[in-house]
Each structure stands twice: as C-alpha cells, then as structure tokens.
C-alpha cells in the first residue's frame, strides 16, 4: 500500500537529547516504508541525523507533506508558529508531561505511524492569533500565537493597569497582574490555570481571562473570533507581552497591544477515533471510564 505522505519532517523537543532513540527509531521506520525523511536542523544538531537530510523550517515548509513533533505541547507550539504559513500538517508524539496536543504515546508510536501512513487519520484545523504592538504610529512588534497572547506585569512586583477595548468599544479598565487572550487551543493551557473557560476547538471564540484582578468582578469572558481586541497600558506602568510563552516584548506605558484572529491556521492529524472529550477526561482526570446511559 502506498503512503499518504512521501516526505516527512521530524522535529524534536528543544534541548532534550533523550529523544534521540525515539527519533532515530522513527526515522528508520519511515525510511523502511519508502518515505523521505527530513530532520529539523536544531534537532539534528542535538541528537544527530546520520543518513538523513537536515532541513531548516523553511525547507520543511517547502518540501514536507507532514511534520512529526517528538516532545510536548511546547514543542508543538514552536512547530506550529514556524510552519503556520506553509500548510504543513502536524502530528505529535508525546514525550512531555500533559500533552494536550500530542496524541501518540511513545510506547505505541510505530503502530500509530503505520496507521497514519496508510491514511487512517482525521484532520482538524486550529486557528491562530496575530498580535502587534503599536508605539505611537509605529509597529514595534508582531507575532503569531496558537495558544495565547498574554499581557502581564513582567518582572514588576506590583499590579499593572490597562484598558481593554473590543472592536473599538471600550470595555473596562483593569488593575491586575495581567490578562490572557486565548484561542480554544490555548483554553486548556495558561488560561485554564487562571480559571478561564475550556473552549472546544470547534467554538469560534476567543477567551479573555484576567490574571489575579484587584476587583473580583473582573471575570473571564468569551468573545467572537471575529473580534479585534486592544489592550492599552496605562502610565506610569510598563509591562510585557508574551506569545505562547515563547516570543516576548517589553511594553512601555501607552503602548497599544492589538490581537485578532489570524488568517493563518494549523492542521493537526489525529488517529481515527480521536475524541477531544476523551482527551480531557484523561488529561484532567475527570473520571476513570465513561459509564453507559
């Protein structure tokens, strides 16, 4: 049987040499199935890639039909942000902790890969956020986020104050440690720890979750994914903006942080039978087994 993919890229967890055995095992398996294998250049520098082509993210975007990420959710976030403009789908092999986005267990990796190569998978689109920082009329920072965009107090030991507007309508002034703007994908990440809502990936919404607000009436809200969100830092405070906990930028008083749904998306491939709710039951320990009605 011919494979659904001809060229597959392997991307490993950042600075984690312990993935070497799994990565080489997977590379050899794919090679035995007639698949051309690319190893991301940072991964190759860490674990080696003897006999396999080393490739940058740009080359992966141009050549690969699929990218397999060996790591945890942080590794998936990095790959998603790097490949968002290319349309290359992602599959995750969980070598992290929780692994909300990494479906395949390490001990059943090859069985899962065999099914995937035979075309047994289901596809799911996840949208990203686009964030920019305006200082006066100048754009001084721009980035993408799959999970969330966070404005927080950075290294300050006190609360910050900022204004939030949605579609140019003033919503509130808030005094807090910051605010999380989360996609449905990111609703089970930092936003969940801050008592934000869990959004099913099919929900066309964006969650705004305050971080330790001074006024307890400041509660999480969910707005349409067509909304344009603006956060303005009040003087005399400075702050920091983060994207997926990876990209960051130091904010000055008066900076405008604008966040909206990006026109880019990322595609995840799941094993057949994948269930978002089953994943939540497992990761959040909601129950041991579902009971029949």
Q: Assess whether 73 carries a catalytic annotation.
A: yes
What φ, ψ does residue 112 adopt, rounded to 5°?
Answer: -65, -40
- Assess contact for 239 and 174: CB atoms under 8 A: no
Cβ neighbours around 275 below 10 Å, total:
11
Cα distance between residue 188 and residue 293, in whole Å:
27
What φ, ψ does residue 41 adopt, rounded to 5°?
Answer: -65, -35
Catalytic residue among 73, 148, 177, 255: 73
**Three-class SS of residue 256?**
strand
Q: How far apart are the first and last CA of the chain?
A: 40
217 CB-near residues (< 8 Å, 6+ apart)? none
The candidate with the shortest Cα–Cα distance to 76, out of 102, 51, 55, is 102
The candidate with the shortest Cα–Cα distance to 101, out of 130, 81, 117, 129, is 81
C-alpha distance from residue 11 to each of 56, 60, 87, 91, 163 (Å):
10, 10, 16, 10, 40
- Assess contact for 184 and 201: CB atoms under 8 A: yes
Cα distance between residue 59 and residue 137, in whole Å:
35
User: What share of residues in the chain are helix, strand, coil (percent, to 5)?
Assistant: 25, 40, 35
Q: Which residues are catalytic?
A: 73
């Amino acid at each position: 049987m011919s494979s659904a993919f001809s060229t597959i890229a392997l991307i490993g967890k950042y600075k984690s040499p312990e993935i070497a055995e799994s990565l080489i095992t997977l590379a050899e398996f794919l090679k035995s199935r007639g698949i051309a294998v690319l190893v991301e250049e940072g991964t190759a520098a860490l674990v080696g890639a003897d006999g396999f082509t080393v490739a940058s993210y740009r080359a992966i975007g141009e050549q690969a039909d699929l990218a397999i990420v060996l790591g945890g959710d942080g590794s998936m976030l990095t790959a998603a942000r790097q490949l968002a403009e290319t349309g290359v789908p992602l599959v995750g092999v969980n070598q992290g902790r929780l692994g909300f986005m990494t479906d395949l267990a390490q001990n059943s990796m090859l069985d899962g890969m065999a099914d995937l190569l035979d075309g047994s998978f289901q596809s799911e689109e996840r949208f990203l956020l686009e964030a920019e920082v305006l200082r006066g009329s100048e754009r001084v920072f721009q980035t993408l986020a799959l999970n969330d965009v966070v404005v927080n107090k950075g290294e300050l030991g006190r609360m910050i104050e900022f204004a939030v507007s949605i579609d140019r309508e003033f919503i509130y002034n808030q005094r807090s440690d910051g605010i999380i703007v989360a996609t449905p994908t990111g609703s089970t990440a930092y936003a969940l720890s801050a008592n934000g809502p869990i959004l099913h990936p099919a929900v066309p919404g964006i969650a705004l979750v305050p971080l330790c607000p001074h006024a307890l009436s400041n509660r999480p809200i969910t707005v349409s994914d067509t909304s344009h969100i603006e956060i303005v830092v009040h003087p005399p405070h400075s702050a920091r903006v983060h994207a997926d906990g990876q990209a960051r930028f130091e904010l000055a008083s008066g900076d405008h942080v604008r966040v909206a749904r990006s026109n880019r998306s990322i595609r995840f491939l799941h094993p057949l039978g994948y269930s978002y709710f089953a994943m939540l039951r497992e990761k959040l320990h909601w129950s041991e087994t579902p009971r029949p009605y």
